[in-house]
Amino acid sequence: MKIFFAVIAAIALIVSCAVLPPPETAVIPEIPETPEYIMGKGTVPEEQLAAFLLYTNMGADGDFVRRLAAYYVEEAAAEGVNHDTAFAQMCLETGFLRYGGLVTPDMNNFCGLGAIGPGQTGHIFPDARSGVRAHIQHLQAYASTGPLNQDLIDPRYRYVKRGSSPTIYGLAGTWAADRAYSEKISTILQRLYEFAY
């Protein structure tokens, strides 16, 4: 009798499993296309921006990187600039915060503003948020003819031909003399999206 009930229980278990719906499969998000336009909205959350930089430069200060990522998201949103693009450009300009060129970490200059040569090593900003804001404002000047939404602090804003480069591809030879400059930003963006998604 015990065997009979054991067989019935086993059959019931098999039948119940057979009629259960299949388990939900995980949805893997698609990697977004690399943005060309400077104006727009970024898609990578600040936590992922910070994680990407820290993955690439494990020696960077984690707390500072997380604050910096938050500043990029906030300041870019204030001016309608794509924060993914601005963050990728910062990574390129600073060597993922390793520096090594004319600009040094204490300058809070994340995009090489005014860094032309030994006699002109670049502008100094009082804090990281100010440096990020100046960077975002400089990008907005290249990409748009619209007004700024925050007080101007970019000392080189007036030198930019407004709206002359709505896409990252106009930054090569203008923002930087390097003809491969735009492709380098695009490559970092691709790496960021592969990391985040």
Domain ranges of the chain: 34-196
CA count, 13 A, side-chain hemisphere, 78: 18
Strand intervals (E) in 49-148: 115-117, 120-121
The residues pairing with 121 across neighbouring beta strands, listed in sequence order, are 115
The pTM of this model reads 0.85
At 116-166, the pLDDT tens digits run 888 888 999 999 999 999 999 999 999 999 999 999 999 999 999 999 999
Please write the tens of the pLDDT for every residue from 33-81.
Answer: 999 999 999 999 999 999 999 999 999 999 999 999 999 999 999 999 9
What confidence tier does 22 reach under pLDDT thresholds 50, 70, 90? low
**Is 1.10.530.10 the CATH classification of the domain at 34-196?**
yes
Euclidean distance between CA atoms 122 and 101, whole angstroms: 11
Mean pLDDT of 13-34: 63
Helices (H), 57-180: 62-79, 83-94, 128-143
Residue in 110, 103, 98 with CA at minimum distance from that of residue 138? 110
**CA dist., res. 24 & res. 150, Å (int):** 46
Q: Is 178:184 a contact under the CB 8 Å cutoff? A: yes
Name, in order, each residue with C-beta under 8 angstroms of 36's C-beta and a sequence gap of 6 or more.
167, 168, 169
Give the pLDDT of residue 23.
56
Tokens 């959350």 map to which residue? 45
